[in-house]
Amino acid sequence: MTMIAMFLKELDQEAVSTRKMLSIVPDEKFNWQPHPRSMTVLTLAKHIAELPSWVGLALTTSELDFAATPYEPLKVNSTVELLEVFEKNIEDAKAHLLAASEEQLNDNWTLRNGDTIYSTTPKSETIRHAYCQIVHHRAQLGVFLRLLDIPIPGCYGPSADEMGLY
């Protein structure tokens, strides 16, 4: 199996769990945060919904320089809009992967803020990192939702809520 085929398969698999988690974020809890240094539910959920866009970013550019391209916070007013952003970014990631070549995955990609370089890695590692970030932040969102007493869907099997364990 090629790396691109593996990335497509994993993207589809992780999208299922991520979609389930994003779909249960209640609009009325968007501004809730478990701690003053934590993100709000909405900020975290938007980040998760945006992360698949890093696939296309990695495949079509050689770097992201925050000094030259400051982050523009996404405007989302509902869970429905959040899911629309996620679905658009998943489809965009798939399209970029389908158009990519295996050779492209070996090209370097740099994350920087002006002269400060955070990382330079092959594009394949940048894509892998984006996938890891989706999983990491999805788990973080699960903790936020658990603290709000919202039943959590299973990702790699049934959750305790789905099994009626507690």
Q: What is the pLDDT along the chain (166 residues), one digit of tens a residue?
A: 999 999 999 999 999 999 999 999 999 999 999 999 999 999 999 999 999 999 999 999 999 999 999 889 899 999 999 999 999 999 999 999 999 999 999 999 999 999 999 999 999 999 999 999 999 999 999 999 999 999 999 999 999 888 887 6
From 154, 153, 137, 157, select the one nearest 41 (Cα to Cα). Answer: 137
Q: Record the pTM.
A: 0.95
Burial of residue 133, with CB atoms counted within 10 A of its CB: 0-12 exposed, 13-18 middle, 19 or more buried:
middle
> What is the C-alpha separation between 152 and 47, in angstroms, rounded?
19
